[in-house]
Amino acid sequence: MAERNRPSSGKREGKSRASNTDNKKGLRSGRHQNADNRRRDRELSSENFSKKRTEGSEEDKPSGEFHKKKTRPDFRKKKKVESQANVEKRVEKEGIRLNKFIANAGICSRRDADKHIVAGSVTVNGKVVDSMGYRVMPNEEVKFDGTTIQSEKKVYLVLNKPKNFITTIDDTHGRRTVMDLLGGVGKERIYPVGRLDRNTTGVLMFTNDGEMTKRLTHPQYGVKKMYHVSLDSKLTQADLEKILEGVHLDDGTVFVDSLSYVNNAPKNEIGIEIHSGKNRVVRRIFESFGYEVTKLDRVTFASLTKKNIARGQWRFLTEEEVNFMKML
């Protein structure tokens, strides 16, 4: 028993203490290295902020530029997308699936269209078609519950939204909506992709492509947005650091992709990149630290900018832009 309770040799204890000391040094070194990495990332900051913001219209340019920041490369496999001309040629030759034809006509989703097809609610050239795999050719007549329907032409456009417009199709209180700004678009029914609140300005996309809308707004795809934020007071370096670490809101934690001061501007001018789709998320992030957002302008949405679009004006997307959005 005496031998069992005998203390270990000083030599072994000394080795243990040295090992512990080395471990502590390693931990401190790791923490310092992580802090240095974060500091270096902040100094590089967001190159996209300065690049995309300067592409905006002259009247929307900020007093400075955003810093550059490294971002993690996107290793997701990009799917190949046909050009619109090739799609039209293929449809003319092979036809289009009946459920997609119904969905493109704005009647319902593809899943609901399958149910209506099985129920016998759809006729092609006067005959009931209950096969979901049926392909509709361009010269065939399709009726849904006795009414002839046509597949709508896909429309894609971007608006530079001004203040005091509601992002909705209509408003029961008689307030102006973003739809009031879209005169001359055409007969197709289009809808805003996502939302900007009444006092937020900037990039807002519209389309009647339901599949693209879902892809651009679903959290799974993490589509990024950039904002130029004006605060009622200077953002402290300490608060900037805390925001970059993640912000706990009532509906969950939000992680910012990048955050920086605007070059050659007061410290209350901030650039922020974020992929969260939570309601009023940018305003709530700063409000949680005691700041009030006095001005909020969306600089980019996915790959879209306000370049050459005056406030309150819009333009159609190019074929290249549409193809790129389909690959996101």
Residue 153: pLDDT band by 50, 70, 90 thresholds?
Answer: confident
Q: What is the mean pLDDT of residues 163-187?
A: 91
Q: What is the Cα–Cα distance from 274 to 228, expressed in whole angstroms?
A: 12
Same domain, 225 and 255: yes
Same domain, 72 and 211: yes
Residue 220: pLDDT band by 50, 70, 90 thresholds?
Answer: confident
pLDDT at 45: 53
Residues in the chain: 328
Whether the pLDDT of residue 222 is over 80: the answer is yes
Choose the final residue of a domain: 130, 149, 168. Answer: 149
Encode pLDDT of 5-16 as tens digits.
555 444 444 444
Choose the final residue of a domain: 149, 167, 182. Answer: 149
pLDDT at 63: 44
Choose the final residue of a domain: 129, 149, 169. Answer: 149
Is residue 199 included in any domain, yes or no?
yes
Q: What are phi and psi of 262, to 5 degrees?
A: -85, 130
How many structural domains compose the chain? Answer: 2
Q: What is the CATH number of the domain that holds 318?
A: 3.30.2350.10
Is residue 98 included in any domain, yes or no?
yes
Q: What is the mean pLDDT of residues 56-76?
A: 50
Q: What is the Cα–Cα distance from 276 to 230, expressed in whole angstroms?
A: 20
pLDDT at 11: 47
Same domain, 158 and 223: yes
Which residue shows structure tokens 């912000």? Answer: 247
Same domain, 186 and 64: yes
Same domain, 161 and 190: yes
Q: What is the Cα–Cα distance from 45 to 42, expressed in whole angstroms?
A: 5
Q: Which residue has the higher pLDDT, 43 or 186?
A: 186
Same domain, 127 and 266: no
Same domain, 291 and 310: yes
Same domain, 170 and 291: yes
Q: What is the Cα–Cα distance from 68 to 74, expressed in whole angstroms?
A: 18
Encode pLDDT of 136-152 as tens digits.
988 899 999 999 988 77
Does the global pTM surpass 0.85?
no
Encode pLDDT of 251-286 as tens digits.
999 999 999 999 999 999 999 999 998 899 999 999
Mean pLDDT of the chain: 81
Whether the pLDDT of residue 313 is over 90: the answer is yes
Whether the pLDDT of residue 186 is over 90: the answer is no
pLDDT at 88: 54
Same domain, 145 and 254: no
Encode pLDDT of 70-129 as tens digits.
444 454 555 555 555 565 555 556 788 898 888 888 788 788 899 999 999 999 999 999
Residues marked as catalytic: 197
Which residue range(s) make up the domain with 98? 84-149
- Residue 201 near residue 212 (C-beta atoms within 8 A): no
pLDDT at 10: 47
Instruction: Kindly state the tokens that stand for 40.
Output: 């270096």
- Low-confidence winner among 35-44, 84-93, 194-203 (lowest mean pLDDT): 84-93
Residue 262's DSSP bridge partners are 66
- Low-confidence winner among 132-136, 149-153, 222-226 (lowest mean pLDDT): 149-153
Whether the pLDDT of residue 130 is over 80: the answer is yes
pLDDT at 89: 55
Same domain, 188 and 314: yes
pLDDT at 33: 60
